[in-house]
Amino acid sequence: MNTKPFLTLEDVRRVAQAAEAEALKNNWAVTIAVTDDGGHLLWLQRLDGAPPVSAHIAPGKARTAALGRRESRVYEEIINQGRTAFLSAPTIDSMLEGGVPIMADGHCIGAVGVSGVKSIEDAQIAKAGIAALGL
């Protein structure tokens, strides 16, 4: 039987707190979502002033990163390079930068999705959250 690491509730809280700190440091009103490796929502936090739609987009970015085992921006780049058929990929719905997988020992154990500011800034917040795990 193979084994792999997984996110604990404490891990999820640590990621969310670090992501929130990065957002607040830059005065960015965003929504932060953390999922498990199957894209199931473990944490959703909408900071004051974050657009309501960001509460739908952030979990989608995280789910896309978790299921695809890569940053959601990769899908955006594929589509922008002309492979529009990728828009029909099942269960992958937020193909915008800002979703980042959480990798541990070569395994995807979850993902962080952020929405509310420029996509590159969303990704910066997600990566700051993941960095708190020290992986």
- Is residue 105 exposed (0-12), middle (13-18) or buried (19+ Cβ within 10 Å)? exposed
Asked whether residue 127 is domain-assigned, the answer is yes
If pLDDT is split at 50, 70 and 90, which confidence band does 33 have? very high
Mean local confidence (pLDDT), 58-63: 97
Residue 36 — φ and ψ, nearest 5°? -85, -175
Asked whether residue 18 is domain-assigned, the answer is yes
State the pLDDT at residue 12: 98
CATH of the domain at 106: 3.30.450.150
Asked whether residue 121 is domain-assigned, the answer is yes
Asked whether residue 69 is domain-assigned, the answer is no
Q: Which two tokens stand for residue 35?
A: 């999922």
State the pLDDT at residue 89: 81
Quote the percentage of the chain above a pLDDT of 70: 100
If pLDDT is split at 50, 70 and 90, which confidence band does 2 have? confident
pTM value is 0.95
pLDDT in tens, 63-98: 999 999 999 999 889 888 999 887 888 878 888 999
Asked whether residue 24 is domain-assigned, the answer is yes
Query: Which residue range is the domain that position 47 belongs to?
Result: 9-53+98-131
User: Which whole-number Å values give the CA distances from 50 to 7, 55, 76, in the listed order?
Assistant: 26, 8, 23
- ∠ CA 65-28-18, nearest 5°, is 60
- Total number of domains constituting the chain: 1
User: 9 or 3: which carries more pLDDT confidence?
Assistant: 9
State the pLDDT at residue 93: 81
Asked whether residue 64 is domain-assigned, the answer is no
